[in-house]
């Protein structure tokens, strides 16, 4: 996968003129205005249950398929006690309420009854709440109705305790309501009244502005309200993986461009049909990150979510996503007008990723001079040091490698034209959904692409410029059939054998065979199994299936006839904390222990076959030194780090070369196990320039060889059509074969021993 290690250069922050993230009117103008809520009178209680996890999952699925208006009403259910249900029908007797009935029994007497005003004025403000208003003659039509209960007395504390027990409850409205003692109709158009004490629950804030329900007529009976108090919880539920929120009130973030004059705005969603829930925006942020990582774009580090109102009526929860955290001083946007409608902001909060707030950094401007030193660059085209029996020794081996990525584990990013020819790009973002869509044709479709994506001539071209190592990602489904998995389990091993036999027997290449995905999902990305899948962690069933895949790889190696030509890579870019993906925070301490235990299990299994077969530990962006305490020094391990500059903050094409050498030197400081750069490429964040590619390539190839045990370029073949910042498309910076054909990549001997570091 194309991930990254961030540059560490610090820089002063300079900001361009602000450019507001205006409301997406094409999105919000079509959102229906919710109907006014009518609190039922045929029961004493109705609670709307809200499943935040189910709603978040629905949001993730919607964002991954490009939807922006997301209805979460399927995550709510109504529950009513059957013992309190009352018969409805003309003149049916209704249960008596617990409040007093004024005399005379008229609406005007009810509204002026002093006992109601006294009760409202004397009511305590419950701990953890703020009183929004007091003693109004109207109830609320607020955001996110969550039900009600009739109380035996006007008790704000009891009402608060019930609200606290309801998922999503942010506020409550307590009031007296004049209701009919019989169901009004022919023969009883204006029956005597009863007084109910209602406690109504809401998933958004209460204000005097949305306290606009003054009652109604039912036949000739007038329903009215008195002693209405509103209370709002002082806190909202936290968003997993994000810091405590900043409250902006009735304003939203109006973000400027960042310190490199680039927009940090990633898009918007609006949620309807449920309570205000910051976890919905967090889910959208994470799903957008997964999508953007797949496309080598900036990930979501910050979101601003608020209640959006049209003409003073709340219509949904709006969510803006950003690649950088913005301070509350940028919360200046109050809304806009569209088509005669006035849109306003309220209940606005901002959340930053607890793993990485996305601080902007300007590029370093160090002058880079290519050394004319007499030192000779390492040659990786010569015979490689081996241990006894012909197995390689990664402490002395120098890999000049290329990944065969996107071949046996399909990635839409690197094969979009083919992908679009067999399925809809937006609804099949990963191989999992592709196979679900293709059904019985998944196998034949994928196998046809395995055969056409690359061939022996690909290996010939790689060898012509000195490539001596192939790193080949596979899915676990190439090795084991996991029940319930949508990934294709078929003849991948036959295609793998045909290519590796040719590479080994013709050119003596070394093969790193890797499990890019693990059962259940290893990082919430398309390459880990499927987007938003991470159930490999803490699941012994999936762990055991992973070991079955490892055993199958070892069987394949034993049967290959070239047992000395292999290294096994049992995991790739594992992360149990998606907001931190690409940084050390992407894998928690608990997750790291799970991964280490798994790796030790792989080492044990490998040793039973032959301990001289190396096991490669992908460092999951923790750094090589992090893993040293987890493994015994006698283990035949090599640490695999991934270094990319396409998402490194403030990385410009002209400033990459000096960073490469420093980074390679830093990685080499971890000495317990040999180090290897398993993935690297040429794309940078800003100002990609086709003429800079050769220098960037040569510098990285040289640095990985000089300081560590070499590296493997991602990837041999890419058909990516995505534009980059600057010149060209991603294919121009990621496809090794194209770079050879364009004369960018040449054998090291063509540079006469130039030292690039």
Condensed to tens digits (0 to 9), the pLDDT of residues 151-179 reads: 999 999 999 999 999 999 999 999 999 99
State the average pLDDT over residues 382-407: 84
Please tell me the predicted confidence (pLDDT) of residue 88. 59
Question: What is residue 597's three-state secondary structure?
Answer: helix
Is it the case that residue 8 has pLDDT exceeding 80?
no
Domains along the chain? 81-233 (no CATH), 239-352 (no CATH), 403-751 (3.20.20.80)
Split at pLDDT 50, 70, 90, the class of 495 is very high
* Confidence label for 384 from pLDDT (cuts 50, 70 and 90): low
- The fraction of the chain above a pLDDT of 70, given in percent, is 92
What pLDDT band is residue 616 in, cutting at 50, 70 and 90? very high
pLDDT value for 35: 84
C-beta neighbour count of 447 within 10 angstroms:
16
Measuring CA to CA, which residue among 634, 706, 723 is closest to residue 673? 634
Structure tokens at 418: 């083919």
Distance CA 647, CA 685 (A): 6
pLDDT band at 377 (very low <50, low <70, confident <90, very high): very low
Smallest CA-to-CA distance from 274 within 351, 201, 165, 343 is with: 201
Region 702-713: mean pLDDT is 97
Does the pLDDT at position 11 exceed 70? no
For 224-235, how does the pLDDT look when each residue is reduced to its tens digit (9 = 90+)? 999 999 999 999
pLDDT(381) > 80: no
Compute the average pLDDT of residues 432-436: 97
Q: Which two tokens stand for residue 37?
A: 């809520």
Comparison of pLDDT for 117 and 33, the residue scoring more: 117
693-707 vs 656-667: helix crossing angle, rounded to 10: 10
Contact 272, 72 (CB under 8 A): yes
Digit-coded pLDDT (tens) for 170-225: 999 999 999 999 999 999 999 999 999 999 999 999 999 999 999 999 999 999 99
Indicate the average pLDDT of the chain: 90
Q: What pLDDT shows up at residue 521?
A: 98
Residue of higher predicted confidence among 302 and 14: 302
Q: How far apart are CA 61 and CA 274, in angstroms?
A: 17
Confirm if 619 and 638 have CB atoms less than 8 A apart.
no
Tokens 């570091």 sit on residue: 757
Q: Provide the pLDDT confidence category of residue 367 given band limits of 50, 70 and 90.
A: very low
| Per-residue pLDDT at 534 exceeds 90 | yes
Q: What would the pLDDT profile of 662-687 be if each residue is shown by its tens digit?
A: 999 999 999 999 999 999 999 998 89
Under 8 Å between Cβ of 330 and 254: yes
φ/ψ (deg, to 5) at 247: -100, 130
At 329-342, the pLDDT tens digits run 999 999 999 989 99
Residue 656 to residue 756: CA distance in whole angstroms: 12
Write down the H helix ranges in 423-539: 431-438, 442-453, 456-464, 492-507
**Total Cβ atoms within 10 A of residue 414:** 25
Q: What's the CA angle centered on 229, arms 153 and 117, to 5 degrees?
A: 70
> What is the DSSP annotation of 265-287?
EEEEEEEESS---HHHHHHHHHH
Buried b (16+ CB within 10 A) or exposed e, 574-599: bbbbbbbbbbbbbbeeebbebbeebb
Spatial separation of the C-alpha atoms in residues 730 and 296, rounded to whole Å: 9
142: three-class secondary structure by DSSP: coil
- For the chain, how far is it from start to end, CA to CA, in angstroms? 27
**pLDDT bracket for residue 366 (50, 70, 90):** very low
The rounded distance, in Å, linking the Cα atoms of 140 and 204 is 11
Q: At residue 368, does pLDDT exceed 60?
A: no
* Total length of the chain: 757
- Joined together, the tokens standing for residue 255 give 């973000």
Residue 136 above 70 pLDDT? yes
What is the SS3 assignment for 560? coil
Query: How far lies 149's CA from each of 3, 40, 158, 194, 383, in Å?
Result: 52, 10, 11, 16, 80
**How far apart are the C-alpha atoms of 196 and 98, rounded to whole Å?**
6
* Angle subtended at Cα 636 by Cα 631 and Cα 640, rounded to the nearest 5 degrees: 75
Residue 363's pLDDT band, with cuts at 50, 70 and 90, is low
How far apart CA 533 and CA 434 sit, in angstroms, is 15
Quick: pLDDT tens for 476-487: 999 999 999 999
Q: Partners of 617 in the beta sheet? A: 639
Mean pLDDT along residues 92-103: 94
Can you name the residues that pair with 745 across neighbouring β-strands? none
What percent of the chain shows pLDDT beyond 90? 79
The Cα 551–Cα 480 span in angstroms is 9
């Amino acid at each position: 996968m194309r991930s990254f290690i961030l540059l560490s250069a610090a820089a002063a922050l300079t900001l361009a003129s602000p450019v507001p993230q205006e409301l997406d009117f094409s999105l919000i103008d079509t959102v229906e205005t919710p109907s006014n809520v009518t609190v039922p009178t045929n029961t004493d209680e109705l609670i709307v249950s809200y499943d935040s996890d189910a709603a978040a999952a629905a949001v993730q699925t919607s964002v991954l398929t490009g939807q922006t208006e997301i209805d979460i009403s399927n995550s709510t259910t109504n529950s009513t006690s059957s013992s309190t249900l009352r018969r409805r029908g003309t003149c049916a007797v209704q249960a008596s309420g617990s409040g007093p009935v004024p005399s005379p029994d008229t609406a005007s007497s009810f509204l002026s009854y002093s006992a109601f005003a006294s009760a409202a004025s004397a009511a305590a403000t419950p701990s953890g709440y703020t009183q929004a208003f007091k003693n109004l003659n109207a109830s609320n039509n607020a955001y996110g109705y969550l039900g009600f209960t009739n109380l035996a007395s006007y008790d704000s504390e009891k009402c608060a305790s019930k609200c606290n027990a309801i998922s999503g409850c942010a506020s409550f409205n307590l009031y007296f309501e004049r209701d009919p003692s019989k169901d009004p109709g022919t023969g009883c158009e204006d029956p005597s009244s009863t007084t109910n004490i209602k406690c109504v629950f809401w998933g958004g804030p209460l204000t005097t502005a949305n306290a606009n329900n003054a009652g109604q007529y039912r036949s000739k009976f007038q329903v009215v309200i008195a002693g209405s108090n509103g209370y709002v919880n002082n806190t909202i539920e936290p968003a997993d993986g994000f810091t405590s929120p900043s409250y902006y009130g009735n304003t939203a973030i109006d973000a400027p461009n960042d310190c490199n004059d680039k927009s940090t705005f990633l898009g918007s969603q609006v949620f309807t049909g449920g309570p205000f829930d910051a976890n919905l925006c967090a889910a959208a942020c994470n799903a957008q990150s997964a999508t953007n990582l797949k496309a080598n774009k900036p990930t979501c580090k910050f979101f601003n979510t608020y209640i959006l109102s049209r003409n003073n009526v709340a219509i949904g929860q709006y969510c803006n996503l950003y690649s950088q955290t913005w301070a509350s001083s940028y919360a200046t946007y109050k809304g806009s007008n569209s088509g005669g409608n006035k849109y306003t902001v309220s209940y606005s909060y901002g959340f930053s990723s607890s793993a990485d707030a996305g601080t902007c950094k300007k590029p370093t401007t160090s002058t880079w001079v290519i050394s004319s030193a007499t030192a000779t660059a390492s040659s990786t085209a010569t015979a490689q040091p081996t241990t006894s029996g012909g197995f390689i020794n990664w402490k002395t081996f120098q890999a000049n490698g290329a990944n065969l990525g996107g071949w046996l584990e399909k990635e839409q990013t690197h094969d979009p034209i083919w992908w679009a020819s067999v399925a809809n790009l937006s609804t099949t973002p990963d191989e999992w959904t592709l196979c679900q869509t293709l059904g019985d044709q998944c196998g034949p479709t994928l196998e046809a692409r395995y055969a056409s994506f690359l061939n022996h001539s690909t290996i010939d071209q790689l060898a012509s410029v000195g490539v001596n190592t192939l790193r080949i990602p596979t899915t676990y489904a190439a090795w084991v059939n996991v029940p319930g998995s949508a990934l294709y389990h078929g003849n991948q091993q036959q295609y793998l054998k045909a290519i590796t036999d040719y590479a080994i027997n013709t050119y003596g290449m070394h093969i790193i065979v890797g499990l890019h995905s693990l059962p259940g999902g290893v990082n919430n990305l398309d390459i880990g199994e499927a987007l938003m899948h991470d159930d490999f962690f803490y699941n012994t069933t999936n762990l055991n299936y992973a070991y079955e895949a490892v055993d199958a790889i070892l069987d394949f190696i034993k049967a290959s006839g070239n047992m000395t030509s292999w290294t096994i890579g049992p995991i790739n870019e594992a992360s149990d904390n998606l907001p931190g993906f690409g940084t050390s925070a992407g894998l928690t301490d608990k997750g790291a222990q799970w991964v280490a235990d798994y790796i030790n299990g792989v080492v044990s299994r490998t040793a039973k076959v032959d301990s001289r077969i190396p096991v490669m530990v992908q460092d999951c962006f923790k750094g090589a030194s992090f893993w040293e305490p987890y493994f015994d020094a006698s283990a035949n391990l090599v640490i695999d780090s991934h270094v990319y500059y396409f998402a490194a903050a403030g990385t410009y094409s002209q400033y990459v070369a000096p960073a490469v050498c420093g980074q390679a030197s830093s990685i080499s400081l971890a000495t317990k196990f040999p180090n290897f750069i398993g993935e690297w490429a040429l794309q940078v964040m800003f100002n990609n320039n086709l003429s800079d590619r050769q220098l960037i390539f040569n510098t990285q190839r040289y640095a990985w060889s000089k300081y560590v045990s070499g590296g493997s370029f991602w990837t041999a073949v890419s058909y990516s059509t995505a534009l980059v910042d600057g010149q060209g498309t991603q294919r121009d910076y990621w496809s090794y074969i194209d770079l050879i054909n364009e004369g960018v990549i040449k054998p090291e001997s063509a540079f006469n021993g130039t030292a690039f570091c």
